[in-house]
Amino acid sequence: MEYNHYNIKNDFPILLREVRPGTRLVYLDSTATAQKPRVVIDAMSQYYELNNANIHRGIHQLAEEATEMYELAREKIAQFIHAHNTKEVIFTRNTTESINLVVQTWGRKFLQAGDLVILTEMEHHSNLVPWQMLAAEKNIQLEFIPVRENGELDFNHFDQLLEKNPKFVAFTHMSNVLGTINPAKEMIQKAHAAGALVLVDGAQSVPHFSVDVQDLDADFYAFSAHKMCGPTGVGILYGKEKLLDSMPPFLGGGDMIKKVLLRSFKENDIPHKFEAGTPAIAEAIGFGKAVDYLTQIGMDNIAAHEKKITQYALQKLKSIENLKIFCPDVPDRGGVISFEMGLIHPHDVAQVLDHYGIAVRAGHHCAMPLHEKFGLPATSRASFYLYNDFEDVDLLVIGLQHVNELFA
């Protein structure tokens, strides 16, 4: 299919609105959350208008329809990431909950005092804090693969850490600050060779390029719908069937059981074992629609488009006085560019840009240790997705020139 970002923009109602009179929205914050195409919004309202019922419970017509739609969404997502079967695809609330699920079930059961878990210095807080919580409780050792000056992980150091007999390795497939795409397949191979299991934080990868969990041989893979044109409130934990079977449930309640006595219960089979309580049904259905939408456009087309926009933006941003890109030469990068502008505070940068309808994020982007390492309290960040075009970049550049003029 021919990639046409002008047509794509038209699929997203919000991108057609003005944020100030005469100023169209230039949305450059998709790393935080992506906008939603009309097909996703419609699928969710149609569900509420026509099919709303609780799932896996009633035998009435609506309950059957809702259950079927929910399970169909699971099938679509399983296919999208090339999972072996749908039992390996667990609906959670988001990436954060998916990671916490692994830490609190697999980690709590299989890790013991003194065991080593390897993380990286570029992790989002959601792949740090859950491990820190368990480490403090169970006296588990945490070690970190350093980030080099060029924004890549230090693979020599990783090799050294692997010699220490780690039990688990968890890392992000793509950095939400630097855009670095980590060589997940090689890292997983090495970790497996050292006898460790691997969780990949896919919050920034699944939305932006094709991911095949079987080819990667990931043991666990976590991502969120809202960063891939789907709604908030729903995410996925992919896990290998054998591992998921070996793990205790996360939350207790309805749907995750086969049988309950007053003092005990028998847990349900996967994936239901990990889906206690009424889930985000409309959101799961919207998620399925988002996957349809992305598939129709083609993940390879999306990735290629984002590469072009990012290269264009890197080039253009270099022309701006006083602007320093945070790791401009990462060899393999996605559509995320963080930068600083001398003494101008990132919040001021974002505020001036907002005046022109340009949405960027300012702060530590939930990666405080990474900022700390490079001596930066905060950065501004522009990120790109399938609906961004060259004009968005041009408007960003003009906006940044205004920032310089204003604070000169």
- Check binding of 366 to ligand 7TS (CB under 6 A): yes
- Check binding of 30 to ligand 7TS (CB under 6 A): no
Tell me whether residue 98 or residue 268 sits nearer to ligand 7TS (CB atom). 98
Tell me whether residue 94 or residue 310 sits nearer to ligand 7TS (CB atom). 94
Residue from 204, 268, 379, 380 touching ligand 7TS (CB under 6 A): that is 204
Footprint of ligand 7TS on residues 369-398 (CB under 6 A)?
none
- Check binding of 310 to ligand 7TS (CB under 6 A): no
Q: State residue 113 phi and psi, 5-degree precision.
A: -50, 135
Tell me whether residue 123 or residue 392 sits nearer to ligand 7TS (CB atom). 123
Footprint of ligand 7TS on residues 254-283 (CB under 6 A)?
none
Q: How far is the CB of 202 from ligand 7TS (least distance, A)?
A: 8
CA-to-CA dists, residue 190 to 13, 200, 303, angstroms: 45, 14, 26
Q: How far is the CB of 381 from ligand 7TS (least distance, A)?
A: 7
Footprint of ligand 7TS on residues 88-147 (CB under 6 A)?
94-96, 124, 126
327 is catalytic: no
Question: Among residues 28, 106, 85, 107, which one has the least CA distance to residue 395?
Answer: 28
Tell me whether residue 66 or residue 233 sits nearer to ligand 7TS (CB atom). 233
Question: How many residues interact with ligand 7TS (rule CB under 6 A)?
Answer: 16
Footprint of ligand 7TS on residues 158-177 (CB under 6 A)?
172, 176
Q: Please list the active-site residues.
A: 366
**Where do contacts with ligand 7TS occur on this chain (CB under 6 A)?**
31-32, 94-96, 124, 126, 172, 176, 201, 203-204, 224, 361, 365-366
